[in-house]
Structure 1
């Protein structure tokens, strides 16, 4: 059962009649940007575009611009299908007269895709969770305050666990070939990154006279598949 939030210009109307035959929980609010500030949490946003395509399109673009983290489903009358394109930023469309089987399937699929996409953007390794979509990282649930290059360095090492990289290789992979600084910048960033990792500073290991690597816990060494992308 999913929590659905319906944005419609005609609150209390049957935007998608088949929903009344399903077990999902629904709430309706006016389809206005101001209503989004205190909007309740949900698993899926449904935008009613049956009568006003222009306003629905504007609302969808606002929702995507503000960075919503749930999928967006558009309800249309059949005549509105020709107006929809990728620029709307929606995840799926459905006709207002769709039957309960189709409605339920689309809800499950669009929420499932969002969940898979979210997981695929995360790297789990030795207590560290790196979210590539939001450029953020956590250690045992504690957010790390990383600079962009610190994040990129951690992400690169974590996606190649146990592999040793020279300072020159890290400069090339993380800073790029057009970077003219010396290898000392790698040492400085590693030192800062270790300080921010705290008790897990040993995750960034030093291989004397070679470079650095991301160390795995012993149990993860036995199953390296668990330490890369979920």
Structure 2
């Protein structure tokens, strides 16, 4: 059983994650305001409620990161709020409010596993440098201004270099198996990611009629396929 502390601006309202109540974890609520974040009760995982106040959630995540909180932080938001979420907030993962019990349990378990590894989390390939701890990415030393999902997509592909993934696989592994959007979502995010990579867009390769892959290059600058 995992002890979950839900940080929410409305501790007396409905559950932050309704499906979490169906799991055998212990859930306790706690105010989200900064004054109450300086001294938190014992917990294994922290949930930050971003459903109604993204600004407060962003501030809370950054405060927890600054305080070097040991527990992994999961950000809970609506699907509409995803567009405003940025990778530099300092959370371990994002969970949508409509997530089912299996997905929530998996995200909690994976967040705890990553937190327990205690290993430097860097990925470096084809001129891309990814820092998992700060949720930041650079191209040849230039910071990339990525949304959270763009960061997740780049990170997933970069950690499986040269492997081809179908749109369905990426939708399942990056967005979650119960995401209701279609595979066009993957194409849109790949297009936006390539635009931010600029001249290095070929790092994200297309395999016709199959899907996408992260291309490896030996030299400093990518070359055409």
Name the TM-score, length of structure 2 as normaliser: 0.51
- CA–CA separation in structure 2 for the residues paired with 1:38 and 1:94: 24
Partner of 1:75: 76
Q: CA RMSD in A?
A: 1.1
Could you say which residue in structure 1 is the equivalent of 2:111? 110
1:111-190 → structure 2 map (5 Å cutoff): 111-116=112-117, 118=118, 120=119
CA distance in 2, matches of 1:94, 1:37: 24
Q: By how many angstroms is 1:66 displaced? A: 0.9
Structure 2, unmatched stretches of 5+, are: 121-225
Larger-Rg structure: 1
Q: Deviations over 1:79-114 (max 9, x none)?
A: 011111221111100100100010101110111111
Residue segments in structure 1 that go unaligned for 5+ positions in a row: 122-230
Task: Find the residue that maps to 1:7 and give its secondary structure.
Answer: strand
Aligned to 1:56: 57
Whether 2:99 is the aligned partner of 1:98: answer yes
Matches within 5 A, 1:31-46: 31-46=32-47
Q: Which is helix-richer, 1 or 2? A: 1
Instruction: Please give the alpha-carbon distance, in whole angstroms, between the structure 1 residues aligned to 2:58 and 2:99.
Output: 21
Deviation at 1:36, TM superposition (A): 2.0
Secondary structure class of the residue paired with 1:58: helix
The superposition leaves residues 93-148 of structure 1 with CA deviations (integer Å, 9 ceiling, x where unpaired) of 010010001010111011111101x2x36xxxxxxxxxxxxxxxxxxxxxxxxxxx
2:7: which partner in 1?
A: 7
Q: Which residue number corresponds to residue 86 of structure 2?
A: 85
